[in-house]
Structure 1
Amino acid sequence: MTDTLLNEICALETALQQSQVRNDRIRLDGLLHESFEEIGRSGRHYCKATVLQDLSHALKAWHSAASRRMRRESAAAHSPQD
């Protein structure tokens, strides 16, 4: 293995550890090989499809929570003050 290839592999692995990459479905889809498999600390088995599906569910939940928070804050800002 050449130093150039090793450096590229290390850079890609490091990218996978960054939250902005792990939360970007398109980037993650491009980085993970079709036959990607991983076993997490919990013993749970992950494949590419599972990772992307879990990310989609997490992002939907996050957007839903953020939307609820913004509605509450907007309602509080427009409610009559005592």
Structure 2
Amino acid sequence: MIEADDAARVADALAKNLAGVAMSKSNFARLPDRYWGYYARGHDGKGKFAVIVTYSENEADVDELIKMYEGWVAKSRPPAR
């Protein structure tokens, strides 16, 4: 089980990272007309984390990305013991 302190550190790191991205409009220059995605990855002494944020005017784009990720997780996860 993930400890509360570890979860809080991960959430804090992600929030600070996303806030930094949001503060500069230049990070969003030349975006596609309808779809935007953001990926961040990090780690500490105990483990690794990643986040994917996706925005689209077309709901199917987001649904497709989630299905792709779920498929990757299912293939990559080691068998249960």
Say which one has the larger Rg: 1
Specify which structure has the higher proportion of strand. 2
After TM superposition, the score normalised by the length of structure 2 is 0.37
After TM superposition, the score normalised by the length of structure 1 is 0.37
Specify which structure has the higher proportion of helix. 1
